[in-house]
Protein backbone atom coordinates (compact mmCIF):
# COMPACT_ATOMS: atom_id res chain seq x y z
CA UNK A 1 0.00 0.00 0.00
CA UNK A 2 1.24 3.50 -0.88
CA UNK A 3 1.75 5.03 2.58
CA UNK A 4 2.08 8.56 1.23
CA UNK A 5 -1.26 8.24 -0.59
CA UNK A 6 -2.91 6.84 2.53
CA UNK A 7 -1.61 9.75 4.62
CA UNK A 8 -2.95 12.27 2.06
CA UNK A 9 -6.33 10.55 2.07
CA UNK A 10 -6.45 10.48 5.87
CA UNK A 11 -5.84 14.23 5.97
CA UNK A 12 -8.58 14.82 3.39
CA UNK A 13 -11.00 12.78 5.50
CA UNK A 14 -10.07 14.50 8.75
CA UNK A 15 -8.95 18.08 8.18
CA UNK A 16 -11.88 20.41 8.80
CA UNK A 17 -14.31 17.50 8.47
CA UNK A 18 -17.31 16.99 10.76
CA UNK A 19 -18.61 13.69 9.37
CA UNK A 20 -17.95 11.18 6.58
CA UNK A 21 -20.57 8.78 5.23
CA UNK A 22 -19.49 6.01 4.52
CA UNK A 23 -15.88 6.51 5.73
CA UNK A 24 -14.65 2.93 5.29
CA UNK A 25 -16.20 2.64 1.83
CA UNK A 26 -14.90 6.02 0.71
CA UNK A 27 -11.36 5.39 1.94
CA UNK A 28 -11.35 2.04 0.15
CA UNK A 29 -12.44 3.73 -3.12
CA UNK A 30 -9.88 6.52 -2.75
CA UNK A 31 -7.12 3.96 -2.22
CA UNK A 32 -8.27 1.82 -5.16
CA UNK A 33 -7.08 4.25 -7.80
CA UNK A 34 -10.56 4.58 -9.30
CA UNK A 35 -11.29 8.05 -10.66
CA UNK A 36 -14.27 9.27 -8.64
CA UNK A 37 -16.92 11.75 -9.72
CA UNK A 38 -16.99 14.31 -6.91
CA UNK A 39 -19.76 16.89 -6.67
CA UNK A 40 -20.14 20.24 -4.92
CA UNK A 41 -23.26 22.33 -5.45
CA UNK A 42 -23.41 26.10 -4.99
CA UNK A 43 -26.63 28.11 -5.28
CA UNK A 44 -25.95 31.61 -6.67
CA UNK A 45 -27.80 33.54 -3.94
CA UNK A 46 -24.99 36.14 -3.84
CA UNK A 47 -22.48 37.36 -6.44
CA UNK A 48 -19.58 36.58 -4.11
CA UNK A 49 -18.04 33.30 -3.04
CA UNK A 50 -16.47 33.62 0.40
CA UNK A 51 -14.08 31.73 2.68
CA UNK A 52 -16.98 29.69 4.07
CA UNK A 53 -17.53 28.31 0.56
CA UNK A 54 -13.79 27.93 0.09
CA UNK A 55 -13.57 25.31 2.86
CA UNK A 56 -15.24 22.84 0.46
CA UNK A 57 -13.43 24.22 -2.59
CA UNK A 58 -10.05 23.64 -0.93
CA UNK A 59 -11.13 20.09 -0.13
CA UNK A 60 -12.09 19.65 -3.78
CA UNK A 61 -8.62 20.86 -4.81
CA UNK A 62 -7.04 18.26 -2.54
CA UNK A 63 -9.13 15.58 -4.26
CA UNK A 64 -8.45 17.05 -7.70
CA UNK A 65 -4.72 16.78 -7.01
CA UNK A 66 -5.26 13.04 -6.46
CA UNK A 67 -6.64 12.81 -10.00
CA UNK A 68 -10.39 12.69 -9.35
CA UNK A 69 -13.08 14.32 -11.52
CA UNK A 70 -14.44 17.43 -9.84
CA UNK A 71 -17.97 18.53 -10.72
CA UNK A 72 -18.90 22.08 -9.77
CA UNK A 73 -22.67 22.27 -9.86
CA UNK A 74 -24.17 25.74 -10.13
CA UNK A 75 -27.72 25.76 -8.81
CA UNK A 76 -29.30 28.07 -11.36
CA UNK A 77 -32.56 26.13 -10.82
CA UNK A 78 -32.35 25.46 -7.07
CA UNK A 79 -31.11 29.02 -6.54
CA UNK A 80 -34.48 30.31 -7.71
CA UNK A 81 -36.34 27.88 -5.42
CA UNK A 82 -34.22 28.57 -2.35
CA UNK A 83 -32.74 26.29 0.30
CA UNK A 84 -33.71 26.97 3.92
CA UNK A 85 -31.48 24.34 5.51
CA UNK A 86 -29.67 26.94 7.62
CA UNK A 87 -32.43 29.55 7.85
CA UNK A 88 -34.75 30.46 10.70
CA UNK A 89 -37.38 31.74 8.29
CA UNK A 90 -38.56 31.03 4.77
CA UNK A 91 -36.08 32.03 2.09
CA UNK A 92 -37.87 34.04 -0.61
CA UNK A 93 -37.77 32.81 -4.19
CA UNK A 94 -35.27 34.68 -6.33
CA UNK A 95 -35.85 36.04 -9.79
CA UNK A 96 -34.07 34.09 -12.52
CA UNK A 97 -32.38 37.31 -13.69
CA UNK A 98 -30.88 37.86 -10.21
CA UNK A 99 -29.58 34.30 -10.09
CA UNK A 100 -28.02 34.69 -13.54
CA UNK A 101 -26.28 37.92 -12.50
CA UNK A 102 -25.07 36.42 -9.22
CA UNK A 103 -23.36 33.47 -10.91
CA UNK A 104 -21.71 35.56 -13.63
CA UNK A 105 -18.19 35.33 -12.16
CA UNK A 106 -18.43 32.05 -10.23
CA UNK A 107 -16.13 30.26 -12.67
CA UNK A 108 -13.47 32.94 -12.20
CA UNK A 109 -13.83 32.85 -8.42
CA UNK A 110 -13.69 29.05 -8.17
CA UNK A 111 -10.65 29.19 -10.45
CA UNK A 112 -8.69 30.85 -7.67
CA UNK A 113 -8.62 27.40 -6.05
CA UNK A 114 -9.50 24.76 -8.67
CA UNK A 115 -7.90 23.95 -12.01
CA UNK A 116 -11.01 24.86 -13.97
CA UNK A 117 -9.72 23.30 -17.21
CA UNK A 118 -10.21 19.92 -15.53
CA UNK A 119 -13.51 20.74 -13.80
CA UNK A 120 -16.89 19.58 -15.10
CA UNK A 121 -19.15 22.63 -14.85
CA UNK A 122 -22.85 21.80 -14.57
CA UNK A 123 -26.01 23.93 -14.32
CA UNK A 124 -28.73 21.97 -12.55
CA UNK A 125 -31.52 23.47 -14.63
CA UNK A 126 -30.26 21.01 -17.27
CA UNK A 127 -31.89 18.08 -15.49
CA UNK A 128 -34.38 19.57 -13.04
CA UNK A 129 -36.29 21.68 -15.57
CA UNK A 130 -37.27 18.51 -17.48
CA UNK A 131 -38.94 16.71 -14.57
CA UNK A 132 -42.73 16.38 -14.48
CA UNK A 133 -45.21 15.72 -11.66
CA UNK A 134 -45.16 11.95 -12.20
CA UNK A 135 -41.44 11.58 -11.62
CA UNK A 136 -41.35 14.18 -8.84
CA UNK A 137 -44.14 12.24 -7.12
CA UNK A 138 -42.10 9.04 -7.29
CA UNK A 139 -39.11 10.84 -5.82
CA UNK A 140 -41.19 12.35 -3.03
CA UNK A 141 -42.48 8.89 -2.15
CA UNK A 142 -38.97 7.98 -0.96
CA UNK A 143 -39.24 10.39 1.99
CA UNK A 144 -41.65 10.89 4.86
CA UNK A 145 -42.93 14.17 6.23
CA UNK A 146 -41.64 13.09 9.65
CA UNK A 147 -38.08 12.95 8.27
CA UNK A 148 -38.39 16.48 6.95
CA UNK A 149 -39.81 18.08 10.07
CA UNK A 150 -37.33 16.26 12.33
CA UNK A 151 -34.63 18.67 11.14
CA UNK A 152 -33.65 21.07 13.91
CA UNK A 153 -34.31 24.37 12.15
CA UNK A 154 -37.64 23.13 10.74
CA UNK A 155 -38.73 21.89 14.16
CA UNK A 156 -37.90 25.27 15.71
CA UNK A 157 -39.96 27.08 13.07
CA UNK A 158 -42.90 24.74 13.59
CA UNK A 159 -42.75 25.22 17.34
CA UNK A 160 -42.63 28.99 16.85
CA UNK A 161 -45.57 28.94 14.44
CA UNK A 162 -43.43 30.28 11.59
CA UNK A 163 -44.65 29.55 8.07
CA UNK A 164 -43.04 26.68 6.17
CA UNK A 165 -43.93 26.46 2.50
CA UNK A 166 -44.45 23.19 0.63
CA UNK A 167 -41.76 24.45 -1.75
CA UNK A 168 -39.19 23.94 1.00
CA UNK A 169 -40.05 20.23 1.16
CA UNK A 170 -39.08 19.88 -2.49
CA UNK A 171 -35.56 21.31 -2.21
CA UNK A 172 -33.90 18.13 -0.85
CA UNK A 173 -35.44 16.17 -3.76
CA UNK A 174 -33.82 18.56 -6.20
CA UNK A 175 -30.39 18.37 -4.61
CA UNK A 176 -30.72 14.61 -4.37
CA UNK A 177 -31.72 14.28 -8.03
CA UNK A 178 -28.64 16.30 -9.01
CA UNK A 179 -26.53 13.43 -7.67
CA UNK A 180 -28.55 11.01 -9.79
CA UNK A 181 -28.14 13.13 -12.93
CA UNK A 182 -24.39 13.39 -12.39
CA UNK A 183 -23.89 9.83 -11.13
CA UNK A 184 -21.87 11.23 -8.25
CA UNK A 185 -19.58 8.95 -6.24
CA UNK A 186 -18.98 11.58 -3.56
CA UNK A 187 -20.65 14.85 -2.55
CA UNK A 188 -19.25 17.59 -0.36
CA UNK A 189 -21.25 20.04 1.72
CA UNK A 190 -21.50 21.83 5.05
CA UNK A 191 -22.98 20.31 8.18
CA UNK A 192 -26.15 22.34 7.60
CA UNK A 193 -26.69 20.31 4.40
CA UNK A 194 -26.84 16.87 6.02
CA UNK A 195 -30.47 16.10 5.10
CA UNK A 196 -30.00 17.26 1.52
CA UNK A 197 -26.78 15.29 1.11
CA UNK A 198 -28.41 12.12 2.40
CA UNK A 199 -31.29 12.67 -0.03
CA UNK A 200 -28.82 12.05 -2.82
CA UNK A 201 -28.03 8.59 -1.43
CA UNK A 202 -31.74 7.79 -1.13
CA UNK A 203 -32.59 8.79 -4.69
CA UNK A 204 -29.54 7.12 -6.18
CA UNK A 205 -30.70 3.82 -4.68
CA UNK A 206 -34.15 4.37 -6.26
CA UNK A 207 -32.55 4.92 -9.66
CA UNK A 208 -30.34 1.82 -9.35
CA UNK A 209 -27.09 3.68 -8.66
CA UNK A 210 -24.59 3.05 -5.89
CA UNK A 211 -25.23 5.62 -3.15
CA UNK A 212 -22.72 8.44 -3.05
CA UNK A 213 -20.40 8.86 -0.11
CA UNK A 214 -20.49 12.18 1.74
CA UNK A 215 -17.92 14.51 3.28
CA UNK A 216 -19.45 17.14 5.54
CA UNK A 217 -17.14 20.04 6.37
CA UNK A 218 -17.41 22.31 9.37
CA UNK A 219 -18.97 25.75 9.03
CA UNK A 220 -16.74 28.70 9.90
CA UNK A 221 -17.54 31.96 11.61
CA UNK A 222 -17.40 35.30 9.84
CA UNK A 223 -15.87 38.59 10.90
CA UNK A 224 -18.54 39.18 13.55
CA UNK A 225 -18.33 35.73 15.14
CA UNK A 226 -21.57 34.42 13.62
CA UNK A 227 -21.66 31.83 10.84
CA UNK A 228 -20.14 33.34 7.71
CA UNK A 229 -23.05 34.30 5.50
CA UNK A 230 -23.64 36.73 2.67
CA UNK A 231 -27.01 37.49 4.27
CA UNK A 232 -25.25 38.93 7.31
CA UNK A 233 -22.48 40.74 5.44
CA UNK A 234 -19.76 39.19 7.64
CA UNK A 235 -17.90 37.55 4.79
CA UNK A 236 -14.34 37.52 3.54
CA UNK A 237 -14.88 37.27 -0.20
CA UNK A 238 -12.59 35.55 -2.69
CA UNK A 239 -12.69 38.70 -4.86
CA UNK A 240 -11.72 41.05 -2.01
CA UNK A 241 -8.54 42.96 -2.79
CA UNK A 242 -5.45 41.84 -0.90
CA UNK A 243 -5.48 44.68 1.64
CA UNK A 244 -9.17 44.28 2.48
CA UNK A 245 -8.84 40.50 2.78
CA UNK A 246 -5.83 40.83 5.06
CA UNK A 247 -7.54 43.46 7.21
CA UNK A 248 -10.73 41.42 7.58
CA UNK A 249 -8.78 38.41 8.82
CA UNK A 250 -6.97 40.61 11.32
CA UNK A 251 -10.29 41.96 12.60
CA UNK A 252 -11.48 38.52 13.71
CA UNK A 253 -11.36 37.26 17.27
CA UNK A 254 -8.19 35.48 18.39
CA UNK A 255 -10.20 32.36 19.15
CA UNK A 256 -10.63 31.70 15.40
CA UNK A 257 -6.93 31.59 14.52
CA UNK A 258 -6.50 27.81 14.73
CA UNK A 259 -9.88 27.08 13.13
CA UNK A 260 -9.01 29.30 10.16
CA UNK A 261 -5.55 27.74 9.82
CA UNK A 262 -7.20 24.32 9.61
CA UNK A 263 -10.11 25.18 7.32
CA UNK A 264 -8.92 28.11 5.21
CA UNK A 265 -5.24 27.37 4.57
CA UNK A 266 -3.08 24.42 3.69
CA UNK A 267 -0.44 25.05 6.34
CA UNK A 268 0.70 21.52 7.33
CA UNK A 269 -1.31 20.18 10.23
CA UNK A 270 1.84 19.50 12.25
CA UNK A 271 2.63 23.23 12.09
CA UNK A 272 -0.98 24.14 12.94
CA UNK A 273 -0.89 21.97 16.07
CA UNK A 274 2.42 23.56 17.04
CA UNK A 275 0.90 27.04 16.73
CA UNK A 276 -2.10 25.86 18.77
CA UNK A 277 0.18 24.61 21.57
CA UNK A 278 2.24 27.81 21.56
CA UNK A 279 -0.87 29.99 21.70
CA UNK A 280 -2.25 27.97 24.63
CA UNK A 281 1.08 28.22 26.48
CA UNK A 282 1.40 31.94 25.79
CA UNK A 283 4.63 31.43 23.87
CA UNK A 284 3.48 33.48 20.88
CA UNK A 285 1.45 36.66 20.61
CA UNK A 286 -1.98 36.01 19.00
CA UNK A 287 -1.43 39.09 16.86
CA UNK A 288 1.72 37.58 15.34
CA UNK A 289 -0.07 34.29 14.68
CA UNK A 290 -2.93 36.16 13.06
CA UNK A 291 -0.54 38.11 10.85
CA UNK A 292 0.80 34.82 9.49
CA UNK A 293 -2.73 33.45 9.11
CA UNK A 294 -3.78 36.50 7.09
CA UNK A 295 -0.67 36.21 4.94
CA UNK A 296 -1.37 32.53 4.22
CA UNK A 297 -4.98 33.25 3.22
CA UNK A 298 -4.15 36.22 0.98
CA UNK A 299 -1.40 34.14 -0.67
CA UNK A 300 -4.00 31.62 -1.90
CA UNK A 301 -6.22 34.19 -3.62
CA UNK A 302 -3.61 36.67 -4.81
CA UNK A 303 0.09 35.76 -4.62
CA UNK A 304 2.88 35.49 -2.09
CA UNK A 305 4.20 38.89 -3.15
CA UNK A 306 0.76 40.51 -2.77
CA UNK A 307 0.37 38.84 0.63
CA UNK A 308 3.65 40.34 1.83
CA UNK A 309 2.62 43.77 0.54
CA UNK A 310 -0.74 43.47 2.32
CA UNK A 311 1.02 42.55 5.55
CA UNK A 312 3.31 45.56 5.25
CA UNK A 313 0.34 47.79 4.43
CA UNK A 314 -1.57 46.57 7.48
CA UNK A 315 1.34 47.05 9.87
CA UNK A 316 2.11 50.50 8.48
CA UNK A 317 -1.41 51.92 8.17
CA UNK A 318 -3.36 50.10 10.87
CA UNK A 319 -0.89 49.16 13.58
CA UNK A 320 1.36 52.20 13.20
CA UNK A 321 -1.47 54.47 12.01
CA UNK A 322 0.54 55.84 9.09
CA UNK A 323 -0.90 57.03 5.80
CA UNK A 324 -0.02 54.57 3.02
CA UNK A 325 2.49 55.73 0.43
CA UNK A 326 0.11 55.14 -2.44
CA UNK A 327 -3.31 56.72 -1.92
CA UNK A 328 -5.75 56.95 -4.82
CA UNK A 329 -6.16 60.54 -5.96
CA UNK A 330 -9.65 61.73 -6.86
CA UNK A 331 -9.72 64.68 -9.27
CA UNK A 332 -12.46 67.29 -8.85
CA UNK A 333 -13.19 69.52 -11.86
CA UNK A 334 -15.16 72.18 -9.97
CA UNK A 335 -14.44 74.67 -7.18
CA UNK A 336 -16.23 72.77 -4.42
CA UNK A 337 -17.98 69.49 -3.65
CA UNK A 338 -20.14 68.22 -0.81
CA UNK A 339 -18.27 65.93 1.56
CA UNK A 340 -20.78 63.08 1.22
CA UNK A 341 -20.63 63.32 -2.57
CA UNK A 342 -16.84 63.13 -2.51
CA UNK A 343 -16.88 60.00 -0.36
CA UNK A 344 -19.19 58.31 -2.87
CA UNK A 345 -17.04 59.49 -5.80
CA UNK A 346 -13.94 58.11 -4.05
CA UNK A 347 -15.59 54.74 -3.46
CA UNK A 348 -15.50 55.18 0.32
CA UNK A 349 -19.29 54.95 0.54
CA UNK A 350 -21.98 53.46 -1.71
CA UNK A 351 -24.44 56.35 -1.39
CA UNK A 352 -24.82 59.80 0.14
CA UNK A 353 -26.92 58.23 2.87
CA UNK A 354 -24.26 55.68 3.74
CA UNK A 355 -21.61 58.42 3.68
CA UNK A 356 -23.68 60.46 6.13
CA UNK A 357 -24.06 57.48 8.48
CA UNK A 358 -20.35 56.76 8.44
CA UNK A 359 -19.56 60.37 9.27
CA UNK A 360 -22.15 60.55 12.05
CA UNK A 361 -20.84 57.31 13.52
CA UNK A 362 -17.31 58.71 13.73
CA UNK A 363 -15.89 56.68 10.86
CA UNK A 364 -14.25 59.53 8.90
CA UNK A 365 -10.87 61.21 9.40
CA UNK A 366 -9.50 64.06 7.29
CA UNK A 367 -5.74 64.49 7.59
CA UNK A 368 -5.84 62.41 10.77
CA UNK A 369 -8.59 64.45 12.43
CA UNK A 370 -12.08 63.08 13.13
CA UNK A 371 -14.79 64.83 11.06
CA UNK A 372 -18.42 64.74 12.23
CA UNK A 373 -20.08 67.39 10.01
CA UNK A 374 -21.71 65.49 7.18
CA UNK A 375 -22.95 68.75 5.63
CA UNK A 376 -19.45 70.06 5.15
CA UNK A 377 -18.49 71.36 1.71
CA UNK A 378 -14.94 70.79 0.48
CA UNK A 379 -13.22 73.68 -1.28
CA UNK A 380 -10.04 74.28 -3.25
CA UNK A 381 -7.97 75.25 -0.23
CA UNK A 382 -8.29 71.62 0.93
CA UNK A 383 -6.47 70.33 -2.14
CA UNK A 384 -4.32 67.31 -1.22
CA UNK A 385 -6.28 66.42 1.93
CA UNK A 386 -6.29 62.69 2.80
CA UNK A 387 -9.56 61.03 3.77
CA UNK A 388 -9.75 57.81 5.79
CA UNK A 389 -12.98 55.86 6.25
CA UNK A 390 -12.87 52.92 8.66
CA UNK A 391 -9.60 51.05 8.90
CA UNK A 392 -8.83 50.42 5.26
CA UNK A 393 -10.34 53.15 3.07
CA UNK A 394 -8.07 56.00 1.92
CA UNK A 395 -8.43 58.68 -0.75
CA UNK A 396 -6.83 62.02 -1.57
CA UNK A 397 -8.69 65.00 -3.08
CA UNK A 398 -7.19 66.83 -6.05
CA UNK A 399 -8.84 70.00 -7.35
CA UNK A 400 -8.00 70.68 -11.00
| Same domain, yes or no: 333 and 303 | no
In a domain, 350, yes or no: yes
Task: Tell me the CA distances in angstroms from 288 to 215, 282, 285, 307, 308, one per residue in order.
Answer: 33, 12, 5, 15, 14
What is the pLDDT at residue 180? Answer: 97
Please report the pLDDT score of residue 385 as a whole number: 87
Q: Residue 378: which CATH number?
A: 3.10.290.10
Q: Is residue 228 part of a domain?
A: no
Instruction: Say if residue 124 is in the same domain as residue 155.
Output: yes
| Whether residue 149 has pLDDT greater than 90 | no
Q: Is residue 298 assigned to a domain?
A: yes
pLDDT at 96 over 90: no
Torsion angles phi and psi, residue 251, rounded to 5: -80, -10
Residue 223 lies in a domain: no
- Going by pLDDT thresholds of 50, 70 and 90, the confidence category of residue 102 is confident
Cα Rg of the chain, angstroms: 24
Number of domains in the chain: 3
Q: Percentage of the chain with pLDDT > 70?
A: 94
Enclosing domain of residue 333: 329-399
Give yes or no: residues 37 and 172 share one domain: yes
What pLDDT shows up at residue 62?
Answer: 97
113 and 18 co-located in one domain:
yes
281: domain CATH number is 1.10.240.10
Q: What is the pTM of this model?
A: 0.78
Q: Exposure pattern of 66-80 as b/e (b: 16+ CB <10 Å)? A: eebbbbbbbbbbbbb
Q: Is residue 313 part of a domain?
A: yes
- Could you tell me if 62 and 113 lie in one domain? yes
Whether 328 has a pLDDT exceeding 90, the answer reads no
Q: Mean pLDDT across the stretch 230-243?
A: 90
Averaged pLDDT, 203-214 = 97
pLDDT at 179 over 90: yes
Domain shared by 135 and 251, yes or no = no
pLDDT of residue 82: 65
Is residue 80 in some structural domain? yes
- Could you tell me if residue 235 is inside a domain? no
Q: Under 8 Å CB-to-CB from 47, ≥6 apart: which residues?
A: 101, 102, 103, 104, 105
Amino acid sequence: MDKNLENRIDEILNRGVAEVIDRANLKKKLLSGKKLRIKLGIDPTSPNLHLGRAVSLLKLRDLQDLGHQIILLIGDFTGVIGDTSDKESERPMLQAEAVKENMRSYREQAGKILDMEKVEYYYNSTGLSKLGYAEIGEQADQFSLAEFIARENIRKRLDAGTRISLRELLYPLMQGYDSVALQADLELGGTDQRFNLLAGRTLQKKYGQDPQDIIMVNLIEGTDGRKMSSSWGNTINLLDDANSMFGKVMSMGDGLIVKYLIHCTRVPMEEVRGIERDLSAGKINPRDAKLELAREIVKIYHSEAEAEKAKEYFVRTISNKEIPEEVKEIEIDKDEIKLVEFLVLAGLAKSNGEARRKIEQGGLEINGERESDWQRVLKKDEDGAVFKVGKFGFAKIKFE
